[in-house]
A and B are shown apart, each in its own frame.
Chain A
Amino acid sequence: MSGSMHLSRLRRWFLASPPIEFAINNLKELLVGALRQGPIPQHVAFVMDGNRRFARCHGIETVEGHNLGFEALARILEVCYKSGVKVVTIYAFSIENFKRSKFEVDALMDMAKVKLSQMAQHGDLLDRYGAQVRVLGRLDLLKPDVLAAVNKAVDLTSRNGDRVLNICFPYTSRDEITTAIRDTVRDYSTPLRSDPPANGISRTPFSESHITHHIRAQARCSSKVPDPQSDSESSSAESSALDDDSSSRNDSASRIYESGSSFSSSTTLHLGPQDGHHTKGAALGHPSDTETPSFLSPETISRHILTENMLTKGTPPLDMLVRTSGVERLSDFMLWQCHEATEIVFLDVLWPEFDLWHFLPVLLGWQRRISKSRQNPNGEGDFAGDSPEGKGQLDNIVMLGNKLKAT
């Protein structure tokens, strides 16, 4: 035991001696520079796990362990940004963590506050190097003083360049997904402005009601029916016998006609990506007698819209998720973001010990796979989704399946 203590002290002394330190730093610099030459993940997420266990193993206080964890974070951020990673997302604090001891929660909050306010003091430095800090999560759960520090740091760096640090502060992924759903629902259930009806028949070039309206208008021109108001009322009364859907479409169509706006305006006002086949664009609303509240059709909600409502909106897709300390669970982190093409890596190292040496093999493996899949898209690491060839293959298999069913 004492022998290993001495050895480790000797080793530490040796590593801290100036020439060795210089050499190691240069070596790291060289390796990071070399990493830049290949493909680099654009978005990396870290679960910084193992601070407490590290503190327990080394007989230091938990808070001290978290401080060492912060140093490790600074180290790894340097590696990431220097090697070309655009966005780093870290799991700093889970909503579940509020259940920990009050002492630890307070210490963590305090640390976050101190670090963020220190960062705010170096505003011009941050400006020069263009890193942007975002805090993702339930900010309403924070104490006011921490929240102030968070807001200050976020505001200060919001104009900065292309490197982003996402700090998931009180965060769980289920909460994020729920919030995204709620926001989407809220977006879709706020009535649109009714003067130019923005909902509408986005892809129907000719609508029957429109044509009938035309015919009626022509008839009106010839026979001089004096009251157009009663006419439209009668038309809506007619259509209310039909189902809601067609009646509201009818209604909106007639309103488009009356307001004189062209169809192109109604299509441009149609929010969200057009999925092409959502021709049934009319909103479901109660056809009330005077003002029909018109909504965007829920059918236009797509995974893209939900993704845009996630907290990580506007960042490139997550390429890699690293969790330290050998726990092989996601623990409610980035569920929506990481379940498609993300490579998930579990490392058996405690976070305060995490350094370039542990991260390097992961990055090299990723580069290797990516360059291999670029050379040979059908090979092992097929990141490029479904190719048309794959689709054909699938059709074949579906046919095969049908045959099998038939037998």
Chain B
Amino acid sequence: MVSKTDREILRADIRARGDKSLTAADRENLLKPYLPDPADLEPSSNSSASQSRTGSGPSQRRQQRARKKPIRTFLKSQLYKFTYAITHIFFGIVVRLLQAYHAVVDRVFAIVYHHHRTPELIRKDVRGLKRLPEHLSVILTLQKEDDALAVLMDEVAELAAWSASAGIPQLSVYEKSGILKSCIPALHRNISTKLTSYFGTSSQQPSLRLFAPHHPVYGGAHTTQQTPRSESTSTPSQSLTILLLSSTDGRETIVDLTKTLAEMSQNGKLSPEDITPELVDAEISEITTQPLLSQAAQESAGTQPIMKPEPDLLLVFGSFLKLDGYPPWQIRLTEMYCTGVHHRGMTGYGEAVEYQGFMRGLWHYAGAQMRFGR
């Protein structure tokens, strides 16, 4: 909070570097009025350097000071407390108003933009967009109700259907606890049902592949072998690959990699200098791009990566942006978007994962604004 005149002097000093710049003493004099009195510093800030330099000076001075104006310090702290309360009350009101406003806007969007379980409508919503993410990632949270798992699976199924309709070929779903990984067949069944309700008969459905790190691709051996051939040639309907992530794919994976590398290094198979970002990247990416190959799929799929390692867009369905343990290595250049929707428990109304939130994320990614009315 430097005053303007002083700021000008400092700026001129920067520009005139060399010929007539200020000396260190000049600058110090200039700064002096802005620095707090050393005696004002809190006793808790135990800067040993100042203590040792001035010896018993500061404590004495502080005592004097405290004796001199205890009322003033008391009043000051009371004033701060009061201001804290006032600002938070006002802030709370503003936040509530904004929430109400956004809730209304969300409802309007939810009415205007609704998928009606029609892939054509969804395709129409994304038609004007300049770019679409090739790999979309979402963070979902498991709620605390009894039917939480069913709700979560339904959310994943909806997202899969929307992505498939919008033409996004890769979707990764992060859920912290990793419960989804334990019920892949049920989830696959769920998604298939959902896709049928969107796309109708199975011939128009996009082929679905579902996998998690260290798990084989689930989609049944018969689907992975026959559908790509039969459908990619006959109909333009695309495939959808879904990757399930959990918090163990984050730090734990990097720790596991370190363990393996350490073991190799101890056995003399690798020197620490060989560890480069490229090596780590290759190893970490492989986990999320290449499923564990089952015997049947080994011949057909080979070792082709079936996912793009880094997601293009990360959608967070929550009130604020928190990654919650999402794998860190992959999100270097990922765009992030937070829908800002409160959890169901808070408002008791609406769902966390909504079509309009999904759409807003896509629009945001394309650098476009959503309008009322299609």
Contacts and interface: CB of A to CB of B under 8 A. Distances in A.
A67 B14 contact: yes
A335 B47 CA distance: 32
A306 B251 contact: yes
A339 interface: yes
A188 B275 CA distance: 14
A254 B3 CA distance: 74
Nearest to B189: A404
B328 A335 contact: yes
Given A295-B266, A298-B266, A361 B261 contact: no
A368 B328 contact: no
Interface stretch (A28-36, A204-212, A222-230, A262-270): A28-36
A53 to B, nearest CB: 15
A161 B329 contact: no
A389 B326 CA distance: 23
A302 B149 contact: no
Given A161-B45, A174-B329, A178-B277, A35 B84 contact: yes
Interface in A243-301: 283-286, 295, 298-299, 301
A316 interface: no
Interface in B316-374: 319-329, 331-337, 342-343, 345-346
A384 interface: no
Contacts of A402: 182
A36 B47 contact: no
Contacts of A178: 275-277, 280
B266 A331 contact: no
A314 B296 CA distance: 50
B88 interface: yes
B48 A161 contact: yes
Contact of A33 (B31, B83, B254): B83
Contacts of B186: 401, 404-405
Residue of A130, A183, A381 contacting most chain B CB atoms (<10 Å): A130
Interface in A317-369: 328-332, 335-336, 338-346, 361, 364-365, 367-369
A185 B87 contact: no
B142 interface: yes
Contacts of B262: 184-185, 188-189, 298, 301
A121 B24 contact: yes
B362 to A, nearest CB: 14
Nearest to B185: A405
Interface string B150-191: 000000000000000000000000000101001101100000
Given A37-B80, A298-B266, A378 B17 contact: no
Interface in B246-290: 250-252, 254-255, 257-263, 265-267, 272-273, 275-277, 280-281
Nearest to B32: A125
B258 A161 contact: no
A189 B148 contact: no
A141 interface: no
Interface string A24-49: 11001111011111100000000000
A340 B346 CA distance: 22
A39 B268 CA distance: 50
A236 interface: no
A377 to B, nearest CB: 12
Nearest to A364: B91
A343 B83 contact: no
22 contacts: A24-B1, A33-B83, A34-B81, A35-B84, A121-B27, A127-B47, A128-B47, A129-B35, A162-B46, A178-B276, A284-B263, A299-B259, A306-B251, A306-B258, A328-B337, A330-B336, A335-B329, A336-B328, A345-B321, A394-B177, A400-B146, A401-B149
